Amino acid sequence: MRSSTKEKIFNIIQIGSKNDLPSYAFDIGIVAIIFINIFVTFFGTFEEAKNYESILDLFELITVIVFTIEYILRIWTSEYLYPGENKVRAALHFILSLTGLVDLLSFFPYYLPFLFPAGAVAFRMFRVIRIFRLFRINAQYDAFNVITDILKEKKNQLVSSMCIIVIFMLASSLCMYSIEHEAQPNVFKNAFSGLWWATSTLLTVGYGDVYPITTLGQMLAILISFLGVGLVAIPTGIISAAFVERYGRIKSGDNIDDKMNNFITPTLASDHPWVGLKVGEVILPPQMEIINIFRNHKAIDPKDNSRLKAGDELVIYIRK
């Protein structure tokens, strides 16, 4: 096929906008297949599914073929995904990427019993990896990548809050063990029993298998429960605030006036030196920052590893 045809296929299998009907239809079709496939996987665990076993097996075969063809096409067109690399390096880059590995795991276990007939029974357990097909939705909707970026950006705060929670749980378990051990030695046998109680109490409503019976232990449990509610909410608050901040940045460029002095909105031509670079590789003055990218009239979060393409409209903020 001609190179232009390969580029058209690349544009179709990438995340599309509503204005690009073939690409948008492809995205919707893949997502629909993934959800139906997951439904079939769960439905196959019911006794009623035995009556439809042949239909379910046929549907799985069709979807595996679709996923296999898509995977091959993504490898074939990977040179457009990584324009700064040659064909071989671009293909290897995609194959070894997280997206490529998830794509491979979504269909490859199906072929294992055929490749190794002697271990067909043993390989059936790998069929559970079909759940990875659900993660392929991440390839169709870029918004799902936001959670990964947030965890990376806030990792220091999250680690700090988790350390505080772990320390509090260890202290609570030791205190509860020291108070309750004599009253119920078979329940609070050691510090780990207290840790199990602290974990189930702080992170859930408790399982009722381990609980204090002494007055002092019950009073301590009330105090620990109140403090635990606040501590466990810290990571949730960090992530929630980061979500609001991130989506606020994405939406901030939706109604920007080109005449505003603190914003410039250049559109990248095909020969622009930034085309093919990652956002993190673009060198800007310290007072300037890329806060949004519009591609095919769709806002894209300007992550450091996002590659710029010809036709992208950038929203660059200039600090005064």
DSSP 209: S
Inform me whether the pLDDT recorded for 186 exceeds 80.
yes
Q: What is the mean pLDDT of the chain?
A: 77
User: Residues 22-77: pLDDT tens digits?
Assistant: 877 887 888 788 788 778 777 877 888 888 888 888 888 888 898 899 899 999 98
* Best CA proximity match to 191, nearest among 202, 176, 205, 201: 176
Give the separation between CA 76 and CA 69, rounded to whole angstroms.
10
Judging by DSSP bridges, how do beta strands 298-300 and 288-295 pair with one another? Answer: antiparallel
Yes or no: say if 165 and 232 are a contact pair by the CB < 8 Å rule: yes
Q: Quick one: pLDDT at residue 75?
A: 92
Q: How confident is the model at residue 314 (pLDDT cuts 50, 70, 90)?
A: confident
Inform me whether the pLDDT recorded for 183 exceeds 60.
yes
Yes or no: say if 136 and 102 are a contact pair by the CB < 8 Å rule: yes
Q: Quick one: pLDDT at residue 137?
A: 59
Yes or no: say if 223 and 127 are a contact pair by the CB < 8 Å rule: no
212-220: average pLDDT: 87
List, in order of start, the domains of the chain with CATH numbers: 3-140 (1.20.120.350), 153-252 (1.10.287.70), 263-318 (3.30.70.1450)
Verdict on whether the full-model pTM lies above 0.95? no
User: Residues 240-282: pLDDT tens digits?
Assistant: 888 777 666 655 554 444 444 567 778 888 778 888 888 888 8
Inform me whether the pLDDT recorded for 4 exceeds 50.
yes
User: Residues 103-129: pLDDT tens digits?
Assistant: 887 788 778 777 766 554 544 555 555
Residues β-bridged to residue 307? 278
Which residue type, as a one-letter code, is found at position 135?
F
% of the chain beyond a pLDDT of 90? 2
Q: Quick one: pLDDT at residue 256?
A: 47
Q: Quick one: pLDDT at residue 258?
A: 43
User: Residues 275-288: pLDDT tens digits?
Assistant: 888 888 888 877 78
Yes or no: say if 161 and 68 are a contact pair by the CB < 8 Å rule: no
Q: Quick one: pLDDT at residue 110?
A: 78
Mention every residue, 6+ apart, whose C-beta is less than 8 A from residue 40.
56, 59, 60
Inform me whether the pLDDT recorded for 2 exceeds 50.
no
Give the separation between CA 306 and CA 236, rounded to whole angstroms.
27
- For residue 260, count CB atoms less than 10 angstroms from its CB and return exposed for 0-12, middle for 13-18, buried for 19 or more: exposed
Q: Quick one: pLDDT at residue 251?
A: 59
Inform me whether the pLDDT recorded for 176 exceeds 80.
yes
Q: How confident is the model at residue 10 (pLDDT cuts 50, 70, 90)?
A: confident
Q: Quick one: pLDDT at residue 72?
A: 92
Q: What are the start-end ranges of the E strands in the chain?
A: 263-264, 288-295, 298-300, 313-318
Mention every residue, 6+ apart, whose C-beta is less than 8 A from residue 72.
none
Exposed e or buried b per residue across 284-296, where buried means at least 16 C-beta atoms within 10 angstroms of its C-beta = eeeeeebbbbbbb
